[in-house]
Chains A and B, each alone.
Chain A
Amino acid sequence: MVLKAFFPTCCASADSGLLVGRWVPEQSSAVVLAVVHFPFIPIQVKELLAQVQQASRVGVAVLGTWCHCQQKPEESLGRFLEGLGAVFPHDPWLQLCRERGSKFWSCKATHRQVPAAPGAASEDQVMLIFYDQRKVLLSQLHPPAALPDHQAGDASASTGGLAAIFDTVARSESLFRSDRFDEGPVRLSHWQSEGVEASILVELAKRASGPVCLLLACLLSLVSAASACRVFKLWPLSFLGSKLSTCEQLRHRLEQLTLIFSTQKATDPTELMRCDRPAQPLRHPHSANMLVSVLLDVNRLGQLADALVPVADHVAEQLQHLLQWLMGAPAGLKMNRALDQVLGRFFLYHIHLWISYIHLMSPFIERILWHVGLSACLGLTVALSILWDIIALLTFHIYCFYVYGARLYCLKVYGLSSLWRLFRGKKWNVLRQRVDSCSYDLDQLFIGTLLFTILVFLLPTTALYYLVFTLLRLLVVAVQGLIHLLVDMVNSLPLYSLGLRLCRPYRLAAGVKFRILEHQAGRPLRLLMQINPLPYGRVVHTYRLPSCGCHPKHSWGSLCRKLFLGELIYPWRQREDKQD
């Protein structure tokens, strides 16, 4: 097999020395991590390698020699380099050579052990692959499909292929800690040899994070304890709390923040990934913070409150017009006058009550809204949840009308079906859950048929009212659903990962790509290995945060069936409520 030598681009201009790295026999590849320069004492080099091996559990060894000289290597230097092969036993022994200023290299790999079959060459063909050490160190490979039994970090890097290379470089961090300004016994060249990379802000943040986390964890535990107290478990407050989506959103945020600032170690690797990006949910309210402060000015809140009451009035007026239209001859249909008038007047009175209530509350609304609007600085999602709640409260009368219409229609449909069975001489057997024949008395049949006829002729009126109010209710539900979707999207969008993909694309790698560098016949093949960044769709898919998960529990078929029969639809009821 062709021997692959992975060489870091930063060492391509380094002085002559020894190649230090890891040999992967399964793929016949040598990963060069650093170059040790002359002069050195072999014992010290071996000690350093043993230290690194212990710290990183990567089998680092001396792989060969690196020669970067003015002209062609002289005989004596050649023999000296070969002599080094005896000091550091490694099979195969790599010899890379480059003339200063030349683009083409010469590589040789010799096997110590004499092969069994005579005539087989003891030299292998070498292929040079250049890689950017810093990028490979910092990047994280995202394999297309992670098998369940290969997860949870096998200690020895037995992962196949390029993942082994990335793993080797990432784990050898202890080798890169010294730079050329250190007074160590061994002089190394690697990506940090010009100076170890660090950021003052990051270091300060690391020092400060401990006490800050502790403080915030205490605060959050206080808040959770306060919210878990007995007062909130009493019936009105607990009912409100489960219905208002603002409370739901605040609870969700509290949970997230508690997770981030918990002082315990994260056990699950996915948790670790989320804690590893501690800024992820933190940055998100901050950015949303800025958005909200731009969108919701305090002045705007006053305007909103001023606009609320006229809007509610307008909606009520439109509803009144609608009811007047229904009480006449809507769309040319002929209604039963008496029932029409009864239902129409009932709903009109309801609207009148509602309008009076709104006008009564209007002086308080502005103040309540202002206080509620303050909490919108907790984030865009909280603002959207407040909007959701306001819409739900303002369209409460539509909800009531829908319930009245639906109940009436439902009763009518059940009555009709039962009387239709009576008309045919059948009965619903509750015990056997099926339709059985039954012999009725004459007066039973008479009254039954009479009632059946009455219900049939009243059906169009009730059905029309039901249809109109169901459509209105569905419209409101659709608007609320959109807001909910938006909140879900903002909640689960991994903004930090997306930003990372935008600004530092090499951090999230889907794979690698190779480019063939200038090639001369007879010279070894040179390739450049670059990181292939993860596409945006996969970033969102891999790193999406868990959302509230309020998906509709009904299929379209069951929804249509419920609408036809007049059963009430609860679009936001969670599965837990159904079990209560």
Chain B
Amino acid sequence: MEEERKFSDICGGRLALQRRYYSPSCREFCLSCPRLSLRSLTAVTCTVWLAAYGLFTLCENSMILSAAIFITLLGLLGYLHFVKIDQETLLIIDSLGIQMTSSYASGKETTTFIEMNKVKDVVINEAIYMQKVIYYLCILLKDPVEPHEISQVVPVFQSSKPRLDCLIEVYRSCQEILAHEKATSRSP
């Protein structure tokens, strides 16, 4: 069962949340970030090339122009491969764990999997970021030595940064699964 809804992130950009409901114990949330806009790309390229042309008129060395082209290309490739995240996915499987995948614009995917026995809870936290108060969803991990203490807080959807309404949806589904998992693990 698939559902798609439109939300917005903390800066006002448009996000699309896709929910896939595979079974009562397995759900997937896929947040798509806004694509690289042509406007910003053109602006950056023009600035860099104008600066290079300015340097060229000062130094009369044509290497500067080729270097500027090179730098622009490499910079764009590096940005697409290492910085620009296209989609963030949260897969929660009852009794296995929670998996977070980030796919970059160049196709690279990085995955982190946290086992269910390490997960204490999934909560929405507040944070003060410059002049804003933002909400973010995070996974609390159990301390292996002290089972009642929290050892680490892992934030989710770090680069798409959705607003509270989107987070509440995801939070409710996660809590359903966690509650179901706790209920079944307690019964023999």
Binding site for B on A (CB under 8 A): 1-2, 4, 27-28, 125, 127, 129, 147, 160-162, 511-514, 516, 519, 525, 527, 532
Bound-state Cα–Cα, A514 to B118, Å? 17
Chain A nearest Cβ from B179, distance in angstroms: 14
Q: Which of B133-163 contact A (CB under 8 A)?
A: 144-145
B23, A525: Cβ atoms under 8 Å?
A: yes
Which stretch of B7-15, B42-50, B89-97 is in the interface? B89-97
A2, B115: Cβ atoms under 8 Å?
A: no
Confirm or deny: B175 has a beta carbon within 8 angstroms of a beta carbon on chain A: no
CB-CB under 8 A from A2, the residues of chain B are 25, 94-95, 184
Confirm or deny: B22 has a beta carbon within 8 angstroms of a beta carbon on chain A: yes
A161, B23: Cβ atoms under 8 Å?
A: no
B22, A160: Cβ atoms under 8 Å?
A: no
Chain A nearest Cβ from B100, distance in angstroms: 10
B91, A514: Cβ atoms under 8 Å?
A: yes
Confirm or deny: B37 has a beta carbon within 8 angstroms of a beta carbon on chain A: no
Q: Report which of A28, A162, A519 forms a contact with B95, defined as CB distance below 8 A.
A: A28
CB-CB under 8 A from B145, the residues of chain A are 147
Confirm or deny: B28 has a beta carbon within 8 angstroms of a beta carbon on chain A: yes
A519, B22: Cβ atoms under 8 Å?
A: yes
Binding site for A on B (CB under 8 A): 22-23, 25-26, 28, 91, 93-96, 99, 101, 111-113, 115, 117-118, 144-145, 181, 184-185
A147, B99: Cβ atoms under 8 Å?
A: no
Chain A nearest Cβ from B115, distance in angstroms: 4
Chain A nearest Cβ from B145, distance in angstroms: 7
Additional A-B contacts beyond A519-B23, A525-B22, A525-B25 (15; CB < 8 A): A1-B184, A2-B94, A2-B184, A27-B117, A28-B95, A125-B25, A127-B95, A161-B118, A162-B115, A511-B112, A513-B99, A513-B113, A514-B93, A516-B28, A532-B111
Task: Return 23 A-B CB contacts under 8 Å, by A number.
Answer: A1-B181, A1-B185, A2-B95, A2-B184, A4-B95, A4-B96, A127-B26, A127-B95, A147-B145, A161-B115, A161-B117, A161-B118, A511-B113, A512-B113, A513-B101, A514-B99, A516-B22, A516-B91, A519-B23, A525-B23, A525-B26, A532-B111, A532-B112
Residue on B nearest A117 in the bound complex, by CB: B187
B26, A516: Cβ atoms under 8 Å?
A: yes
Bound-state Cα–Cα, A147 to B101, Å? 27
Bound-state Cα–Cα, A125 to B23, Å? 11
Bound-state Cα–Cα, A1 to B183, Å? 9
CB-CB under 8 A from A525, the residues of chain B are 22-23, 25-26
CB-CB under 8 A from B26, the residues of chain A are 127, 516, 525
CB-CB under 8 A from A147, the residues of chain B are 144-145
CB-CB under 8 A from A4, the residues of chain B are 95-96
CB-CB under 8 A from B28, the residues of chain A are 516
CB-CB under 8 A from A512, the residues of chain B are 113
